[in-house]
């Protein structure tokens, strides 16, 4: 795979150290239709909905939402919003860690767009160098279901990091969640694991996600054509591809880990007759993956890891890497 070089860099961010990607929020053309697709095909249940925001929030019990589907006609959408990524969210160990990083970042002149109290989590928001919104958050309630179920229409309480309340030092993210399997769904995901982006400015994106957000490289580096970045509790949370003449900047795919190869093969077989077509399947020593598209044409990758290391990734052909990582 040309220009794909492994790195032994252990550089960590100055401000945050995420555990993992917590959720991805997607803009979709019809959030009702998308919610049906993501249940019957992708395998997540709608756990709550915000009709005033035209958004559906999906989970399998892993966290208070793995995915949010926000309509392109939502008040949060741009005037000519197209389906794609709205924001990606990174989970921290504790609220105290988040507030400490926030204070140090602000002192260094790092800008944040806004902050928000979501009842079960508190979040910081800023834009990456390509303009994608990034959420950095910490859970503040261990049992999220009573507060995040059904129809939710309410104003967010005002929150100032470290001022409104004393930051919590305990770990409130689900440590051993009960995973709900949608039995009739085509896929049975464990959780959303990563977002893959084609970077408009690869070096600036790399610097931001490593230095500010605090991810570290599993594979590749600042001068590579691709890099896989991970938090402290994952095998990869963000994949960045360098743009090329035939690879335009923006969302490439969202990745979901499934239970095992047998389950993935069952899902691939179940696609026959479903109206959902496979765009690409890569059966590699590092990972077995299959990529489909949703109703809006957004790519979704389902995979099971085999020997997912920098060494095995480096052996994959470039045309496979786009659908493998």
CA–CA separation, 52 vs 74, rounded Å? 8
Q: 281-302, pLDDT tens digit by residue?
A: 999 999 999 999 999 999 999 9
Q: Are 200 and 249 in contact (CB under 8 A)?
A: yes
Q: What is the mean pLDDT of the chain?
A: 94
Q: Is 119 left (phi over 0), alpha (psi -120 to 50) or beta?
A: left
Please tell me the CATH superfamily of domain 189-324, with its number: 2,3-Dihydroxybiphenyl 1,2-Dioxygenase, domain 1 (3.10.180.10)
pLDDT of residue 6: 36
For domain 20-151, give the CATH number.
3.10.180.10
Q: 224-274, pLDDT tens digit by residue?
A: 999 999 999 999 999 999 999 999 999 999 999 999 999 999 999 999 989
Q: Residue 234 phi/psi, 5° resolution?
A: -155, 170
Task: Name the pairing type of β-strands 55-59 and 67-71.
Answer: antiparallel
Q: Where in the chain is the domain with CATH 3.10.180.10?
A: 20-151, 189-324
CA–CA separation, 139 vs 121, rounded Å? 4
Q: Are 128 and 112 in contact (CB under 8 A)?
A: no
Task: Name the pairing type of β-strands 20-28 and 226-230.
Answer: unpaired
What stretches of the chain show up as alpha helix (H) in DSSP?
31-37, 95-107, 202-207, 261-270, 310-313, 318-324
Q: Which two tokens stand for residue 145?
A: 């279901």
């Amino acid at each position: 795979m040309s220009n794909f070089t492994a790195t032994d860099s252990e550089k960590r961010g100055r401000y945050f150290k995420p555990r993992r990607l917590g959720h991805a929020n997607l803009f979709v053309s019809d959030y009702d239709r998308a919610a049906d697709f993501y249940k019957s095909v992708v395998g997540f249940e709608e756990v709550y909905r915000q009709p005033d925001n035209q958004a559906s929030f999906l989970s399998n019990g892993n966290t208070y939402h793995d995915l949010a589907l926000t309509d392109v006609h939502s008040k949060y959408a741009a005037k000519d919003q197209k389906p794609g990524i709205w924001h990606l969210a990174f989970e921290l160990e504790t609220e105290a860690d988040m507030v400490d990083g926030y204070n140090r970042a602000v002192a260094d002149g790092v800008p944040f767009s806004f902050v928000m109290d979501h009842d079960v989590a508190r979040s910081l928001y800023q834009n990456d160098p390509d303009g994608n919104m990034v959420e950095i958050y910490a859970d503040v309630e261990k049992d999220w279901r009573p507060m995040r179920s059904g129809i939710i229409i309410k104003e967010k309480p005002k929150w100032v990091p470290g001022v409104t309340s004393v930051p919590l030092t305990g770990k409130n993210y689900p440590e051993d969640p009960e995973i709900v399997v949608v039995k009739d769904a085509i896929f049975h995901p464990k959780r959303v694991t990563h977002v893959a982006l084609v970077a408009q400015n690869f070096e600036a994106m790399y610097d931001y996600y490593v230095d500010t957000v605090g991810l570290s490289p599993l594979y590749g580096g600042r001068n590579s054509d691709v890099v896989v970045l991970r938090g402290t509790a994952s095998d990869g949370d963000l994949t960045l591809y360098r743009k090329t003449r035939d690879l335009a900047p923006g969302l490439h795919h969202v990745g979901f880990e499934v239970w095992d190869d047998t389950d993935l093969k069952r899902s691939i077989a179940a696609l026959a007759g479903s109206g959902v077509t496979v765009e690409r399947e890569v059966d590699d020593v590092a990972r077995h993956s299959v990529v489909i598209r949703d109703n809006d044409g957004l790519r979704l990758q389902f995979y099971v890891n085999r020997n997912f290391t920098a060494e095995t990734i480096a052996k994959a052909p470039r045309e496979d890497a786009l659908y493998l990582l």
